[in-house]
């Protein structure tokens, strides 16, 4: 019996594309929990938001966090709710204006 494919959310795909434009930092958690390691790294390096942190927990597992003005969030949450973050609004692709569409159609 064929397995049904999982539907990909358009909103999440759009959020993932936006997060690709944000600076990304890769670190290892070491002895700390991944979120603690991310917070310590942000404080020690002085990273300004927005930024994406990829924390390697062990050889198989990585956790992704988004550093925003409001704090540290899970990257999956940010992908699904990217419109809630003002720093990501500037990175969103703008729809073409009606005057630009009208000039293309008129030609």
Residues 4-29 have pLDDT tens digits of 777 778 888 999 999 999 999 999 99
Residue 68 is assigned to a structural domain of this protein: yes
Residue 97 is assigned to a structural domain of this protein: no
Q: For residues 5 and 48, what is the distance between their CA atoms, to the nearest angstrom?
A: 39
Residue 34 is assigned to a structural domain of this protein: yes
Q: Which domain holds residue 27?
A: 10-91
Residue 105 is assigned to a structural domain of this protein: no
> Residue 40 gets which letter from DSSP?
H
Element at 28 (helix H, strand E): strand 24-28
How many domains would you assign to the chain? 1
Residue 53 is assigned to a structural domain of this protein: yes
Query: Any idea how long the chain is?
Result: 107
Query: Nearest-CA neighbor of 22 among 78, 61, 62, 63?
Result: 78
Per the DSSP assignment, residues forming a β-bridge with 27 are 55
Residue 84 is assigned to a structural domain of this protein: yes
pTM for the structure as a whole = 0.77
Edge-to-edge strands, sheet with 71-74: 24-28, 51-56, 62-68, 71-74
Residue 49 is assigned to a structural domain of this protein: yes
19-23, 38-42, 99-103: which has the minimum mean pLDDT? 99-103
Q: For residues 64 and 74, what is the distance between their CA atoms, to the nearest angstrom?
A: 6
């Amino acid at each position: 019996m064929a397995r049904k494919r999982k539907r990909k959310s358009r909103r999440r795909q759009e959020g993932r594309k936006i997060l690709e434009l944000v600076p990304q930092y890769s670190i290892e958690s070491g002895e700390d929990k991944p979120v603690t390691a991310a917070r310590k790294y942000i404080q020690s390096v002085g990273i300004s938001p927005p930024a994406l942190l990829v924390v390697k927990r062990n050889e198989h597992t990585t956790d992704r966090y988004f550093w925003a003005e409001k704090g540290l969030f899970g990257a999956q949450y940010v992908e699904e709710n990217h419109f809630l973050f003002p720093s990501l609004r500037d990175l969103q692709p703008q729809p073409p204006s009606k005057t630009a569409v009208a000039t293309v159609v008129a030609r």
